[in-house]
């Protein structure tokens, strides 16, 4: 008999965990560790999910990364998150054409990779993101629900999330209110 599969919360990084950088009206990931600022309360909210038994996995597209120096900066940011947050893993897609790459969001590749690596039951898992790509990936992977944190850059007209919220706290409240499956 195999080991039981685990529920998880699969979270986008920029706009959910940390403040994105807005340049010329467009959202960008921070390029340097000095630009990386986690939102207030993130640690507390993720601890609530971890205490409830969820594995917590960041799934992030970092398509602006062009050099080894840039990758080192991304890893420094991820090491900061690992230090302060109760994360199971961080999975990153660095491909430049995310919509054509099966691994990058909006495709479900990173979520499927997480499911295999960490023995996740995606049908009992949730995604939280701030963009249509996050919602599409969660739905295509068969997650129980995909939750959109609405921002001016979400492109919400391109998706149909199971729940739309204004903050990570609201998303966590929603998840914890759901009956166990």
The predicted-structure confidence for 6-38, as pLDDT tens digits, reads as follows 999 999 999 999 999 998 888 899 999 999 999
Handedness of CA 138, 139, 145, 147 (dihedral sign): positive
- State which CATH number among 3.40.50.1000, 3.40.50.1970, 3.40.50.2300, 3.10.129.10 fits the domain covering 8-177: 3.40.50.1000
**DSSP assignment of 102-146:** SSSTTSSHHHHHHHHHHTB-GGG-EEEESSHHHHHHHHHHT-SEE
Question: Quick one: average pLDDT of 133-151?
Answer: 97
pLDDT tens digit sequence for 99-109: 666 688 999 99
- pLDDT score of 25: 86
Residue 73 clears pLDDT 80, i.e. is over it: yes
- Domain boundaries, given as residue ranges, for the chain: 8-177
CA distance 160 to 85: 29
Question: Quick one: average pLDDT of 88-108?
Answer: 82
Question: Quick one: average pLDDT of 83-109?
Answer: 85
């Amino acid at each position: 008999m195999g080991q039981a599969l685990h529920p998880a919360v699969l979270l986008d990084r920029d706009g959910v965990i940390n403040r994105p950088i807005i340049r010329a009206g467009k959202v960008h990931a921070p390029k340097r560790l000095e630009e990386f600022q986690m939102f207030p309360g993130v640690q507390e909210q993720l601890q609530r999910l971890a205490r409830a038994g969820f594995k917590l996995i960041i799934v992030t597209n970092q398509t602006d990364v062009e050099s080894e120096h840039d990758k080192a900066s991304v890893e420094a940011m991820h090491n900061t998150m690992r230090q302060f947050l109760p994360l199971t893993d961080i999975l990153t897609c660095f491909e430049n054409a995310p919509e054509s790459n099966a691994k990058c969001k909006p495709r479900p590749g990173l979520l499927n990779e997480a499911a295999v690596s960490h023995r996740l039951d995606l049908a009992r898992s949730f995604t939280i993101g701030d963009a249509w790509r996050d919602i599409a990936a969660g739905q295509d992977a068969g997650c129980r629900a995909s939750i959109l944190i609405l921002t001016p850059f979400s492109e919400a007209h391109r998706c149909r999330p199971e729940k739309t919220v204004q903050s990570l706290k609201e998303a966590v409240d929603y998840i914890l209110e759901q009956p166990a499956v």
